[in-house]
Every structure is written in structure tokens, then in C-alpha cells.
Amino acid sequence: MINIIVYFTGMGLSIFWGTGFTKAEVSIHYPLVRPQQQKWSFSGPFGVYDRAQLQRGLKVYTEICATCHSLKFVAFHNLRALNYDEQEIKSFSNQFAIKDGPNEEGNIFTRPANPTDHFPAPFANDIQAAFANNGAIPSDLSLIARARAVPRPFPNCLTDILKNYTTAGADYIHALLTGYETTLSLEQKISAGKWYNPFFISGESIAMAPPLYDGRIVYDDGSPQTRDQYARDIAAFLTWTADPHMETRKKYGLRVIIFLTLYTGLIFFVKRRIWADYDKGHRS
């Protein structure tokens, strides 16, 4: 018993010690500042995607992020889930050029993309991508919202399970894209071609120039044309690309919970019925 108490106290202290720092300087773990939890339409067990927001997020991706980041796991026909019809998807995909081939003469050729094609990558290979971006390779964004949904340190990781906190990836993307201005402490020296961003998970500086600013993209649905809104929309869109079946999963999850609750009740009464004679015999 004593052993168990000592073990858990030790573990608790070590977790607390490891994450208890508040000053950026003493932290050896990135990010230096953790993202704030934001409100999302898709958070919680009943949350669903806001289709208009996903459409705006697609616009942000196509007009800005697509210059550097690929989205290789998303095919154009997947955009049906964003309430686009066949014709809209066809004309949208036709704006992209795809390298195909070899043709009958053995040559690689370029053609407009079809709905069955995936989003084309902006660079031919990683070397070209790194060369154009100061040595850093812009990651594929298809699954980034999942990849960056890092569990928060103790004690939040425990309450997050109970609160069903599943939007850490979206919070991270939003914080990263809006977090460039956070003051640079004098001790930190950022090399040329890099930017200070305390939310970046792999270092104190990032090789991506701030991609968003107010008014950069024109929205036609009257939504605010601010950096904050762009960041929210692209974060929602990238959550969808990483987890396109979330709504179905939640729907089935709810049905399963309802079924199991009813089933438990049923089993309870069946048990009482089966053991009724035995219970009676024991009581008398």
C-alpha cells in the first residue's frame, strides 16, 4: 500500500515538476505558449461542421496555403461533403493543373484536374520545396489537425478526457496563424529568414512567413475579412480534411450509447426474472 502511495506521489510530482514552468526561458519543450481553447461548431459529442465555414476555409487554402502546402489525401470529389454539386466541383478542379503521362509519345504532359484527382502539390519534390522555403519543407496539411492535436499536460489531460476535448489541432492551427506578434524576448535570437512564433511546436522560430493578414481574402458571404476569421476558417477546414467522417462517427456513437443503456436495463430485468425463484428461496 505504502509503495503504491509513494509511487503515485512520485509520478504526480514529476509530471507537475516537468510542466510547472511559466517562463519561456526555462522551457525546453515547445510550444513556448500553449494554444487557448477556442469555440468550434464541431466540438463536443453533438458538434457538426459548419458548411459555410468549411467553404471559406477551402478558399483560404486555395488562395494562400496552396502556394506552399500540399493537401495530397484530399480528392476534389471529396468536396461534395462541403455542399458543392458535381458541376461546381468539376469547374473548380479544372482550375488546377495535373502532371500526367506518359502519353503515346512517352512524354509527361499537363492537363486540367478532374474531380477524381487529388489536390496537386505545389512543389515537384522535397528538395525543391526546401530550396524555396529557406531549408524548411512545408508539411502536407491533410492530416495536420490530427497530428497536432497534442494532449495537454497534467492536470488538463485528465479533465480533457472528461470534457471530451477533441479540438486541440484546430486550436493549434488558429494560435499558430494568429500568434506571430507575441513579443520576442531579448534573449532569443532568431536567424534571418525565420519568424518568432511561440505557438510553433518544433522550435522557437518558424520558417513560414505570417501567411494571413486582415483583408487578404475576399469573402462573398459577408463574414468578417480579418486574420482571426481566416485562421478559424482554415483551422475548421483542416479539421475536416483530417477527420471527414467525424459527424457519422458521432451519430453512430450516440446510437450505440442509447442502445447500450436500454440493453443494460433489459439485462437487469432479465437477470431479476431468471434468478427470481432463487432469490425468493434465499429470503424465506
Q: Where does this chain bind ligand HEC (CB under 6 A)?
A: 60, 64-65, 67-69, 133, 136, 138-139, 144, 148, 173, 176-177, 201-202, 206-209, 211-212, 234
CB of 67 to ligand HEC, least distance (A): 5
Cβ-based nearer residue to ligand HEC, 79 or 176: 176
CB of 68 to ligand HEC, least distance (A): 3
Q: Closest Cα partner for 92 from 129, 66, 68, 124? A: 66
Q: Where are the alpha helices (H) located in 64-167, listed in sequence order? A: 86-93, 126-132, 144-147, 156-163
CB of 250 to ligand HEC, least distance (A): 25
Rounded Cα gap, residues 177 and 170, in angstroms: 11
Cβ-based nearer residue to ligand HEC, 183 or 202: 202
Tell me how crowded residue 174 is: count the other CB atoms within 10 A of its CB.
24
CB of 123 to ligand HEC, least distance (A): 10
CB of 139 to ligand HEC, least distance (A): 5
Residue with cell 510553433: 200
How many residues does this entry show for the chain? 284
Cβ-based nearer residue to ligand HEC, 94 or 139: 139
Residue with cell 462573398: 220
Torsion of CA 211, 212, 215, 219, to 10 degrees: 100
Q: Closest Cα partner for 232 from 181, 172, 182, 147? A: 172
Cβ-based nearer residue to ligand HEC, 15 or 150: 150
CB of 144 to ligand HEC, least distance (A): 5
Cβ-based nearer residue to ligand HEC, 58 or 206: 206
Cβ-based nearer residue to ligand HEC, 65 or 113: 65
Rounded Cα gap, residues 97 and 230, in angstroms: 25
Rounded Cα gap, residues 54 and 242, in angstroms: 13
